[in-house]
Amino acid sequence: MLENMTDHGFDLLDRQLVQALMIDGRAAFSRLAAVLDTTDQTVIRRYRRLRGAGLLRVLGLPVGERVGLFESRLRIQCVPGSAVAIAEALAHRPDTGWVKIFSGGSEVGCMVSSRTSEDHEALLLRKLPRTQQVTGVSAQSLLHQYAASSGHWMGPAELDEQQIRALQPPASSQEDTIRLDDSDHAMLSVLARDGRAGYPELAKATGRSESTVRRRLEYLRGSGALSFEVEILPVHLGFRTEATLAVTVAPGDLAEVGRALADHPQVPFVAATTGASNLAATVLCQDQRALYTYMTEGIGAIGAVHQLEVLPVLRHVKRAGLLSDGSRLFDPPR
C-alpha cells in the first residue's frame, strides 16, 4: 500500500515538469520545453517515463458545481474490522473518488459525484444505510471549491514567477451551469483516464470532428466546467503524512479563509460545505511533526478559524477515479 512505497528520487527537472503540469495539464510539450529551457524530446521522454512507471498522470475532470453534478463528501462509520471491505466496495463504484480509511480504522471517507439526484439519494438513503456493517453515515454537500491564486505545488517552488506566468492558462469565466450532452460525457470519460489524450482519440470517442472537439474542450475549460489535475503519489515528493480537515469559521469569513487555505502549499484541496463544519480540506505534510507545525503555525495563525478537526489518513484505496493497487497506482500509457 502507499505507506510501503518508496521515494523514486525525482530530480529537479522531474519536479519542474510536475509543477508545470499542475499549472496547465494540457500544455503542449513544446511549450513546456520552452518554459523549462530544455528540448521537446527531453520533456516527452521525462513525461512518458514518469507516466509509464505509474508515478504521474494528468486527469481532465468536470467541475461539479459548474456542470450540475450532485457531490457529497461522506464519512462512514463502520463495525470494527469492516472498513477495508466497505472502502473497497465503494472504490469499485464509478461515482466515487478519494476513498480513504482514517487512522482509527473504523471510519471511511470518500467523495461521491452523481449525475442525477436520484442516483445520489439511492446511495445515501438506501444502499449505505442498509449495509449491515455500516453504523453511521454523515454527508456534506460541496458548495464551492477554492482554487490557489497560482499553480499549486506541494513543495518548495521549482519554477520562478516568470515561468509560472508563462504557463498560466487564461482565467475561466463563471457562466450559468453548463449542460453536458452525450458527446461531452464520452469526451470526459477519455479525459478522466488521460487528460492529455490527443484530439484524434477524443474525436473517435465522441463521433465529432477534431476541430469540433478542440473547440468544445476549450469552451468547457474556459467556462470553468473542466479542470486538469496532476495525480502523483505525495510520498514521491517527500510527503508521507496526509490528513482530512474539518474546519469551522463564521459564515462571513468563509470565502476569505477558504482562499487563504487554498494558497497554503500543504493544502491541495479545500471547499465550502454544508454541515456542522463549513470547510473541508486535505493537508499533506512531510511527517507528523510538520503536520503539528501546520496546525499551530499555518491554519492556527488564521484567527477566523473557530474549530478544527484533524482526521489522519491511514490508507488510500482510490483516488480520483483510480484504484490503488499497492505498487503501481496508474495504468501504463497505451
DSSP letters for 247-296: EEE-GGGHHHHHHHHHTSTT-SEEEEESSSS-EEEEEEESSHHHHHHIII
Q: What does the mean pLDDT of the chain come to?
A: 87
Q: Quick check: is 191 in a domain?
A: no
* pLDDT value of position 2: 30
Which tens digit of pLDDT belongs to each residue from 157-212? 688 889 989 998 887 777 678 999 999 999 999 999 999 999 999 999 999 999 99
* pLDDT value of position 158: 83
CA–CA gap between residue 208 and residue 187 (Å, rounded) = 10
**Percent of the chain surpassing pLDDT 90:** 60
Other C-beta atoms lying within 10 Å of the C-beta of residue 48: 12
Half-sphere exposure of 113 (CA within 13 A, CB side): 19
Greater confidence (138 vs 319) lies with: 138
Is 80 exceeded by the pLDDT of residue 213?
Answer: yes
Is 60 exceeded by the pLDDT of residue 1?
Answer: no
Q: Domains in the chain: how many in total?
A: 1
Q: Quick check: is 243 in a domain?
A: yes
Q: Average pLDDT, stretch 214-235?
A: 91
Is 50 exceeded by the pLDDT of residue 79?
Answer: yes
Q: Quick check: is 139 in a domain?
A: no
The CATH number linked to 243 is 3.30.70.920
* pLDDT value of position 95: 87
Place of cell 463528501: 73
Q: Quick check: is 116 in a domain?
A: no
DSSP structural state of residue 323: B
Q: Which domain holds residue 307?
A: 239-314
* pLDDT value of position 323: 47
Q: Yes or no: say if 206 and 189 are a contact pair by the CB < 8 Å rule.
A: no
DSSP structural state of residue 25: T
Q: Average pLDDT, stretch 143-155?
A: 72
Q: Cell numbers of 155, please?
A: 513543495
Q: Average pLDDT, stretch 30-53?
A: 96
Q: Quick check: is 284 in a domain?
A: yes
Q: Quick check: is 277 in a domain?
A: yes
Which tens digit of pLDDT belongs to each residue from 271-297? 999 998 999 999 999 999 999 999 999
Q: Quick check: is 111 in a domain?
A: no
Q: Quick check: is 275 in a domain?
A: yes
Burial class (CB in 10 A: 0-12, 13-18, 19+), 37: exposed
CA–CA gap between residue 112 and residue 217 (Å, rounded) = 24
Reported pTM: 0.79
Q: Average pLDDT, stretch 34-48?
A: 97
Residue type, 135: T
Q: Average pLDDT, stretch 32-48?
A: 97
Burial class (CB in 10 A: 0-12, 13-18, 19+), 71: buried
Highest mean pLDDT among 31-35, 103-107, 131-135: 31-35
pLDDT band at 219 (very low <50, low <70, confident <90, very high): very high
Q: Yes or no: say if 141 and 274 are a contact pair by the CB < 8 Å rule.
A: yes
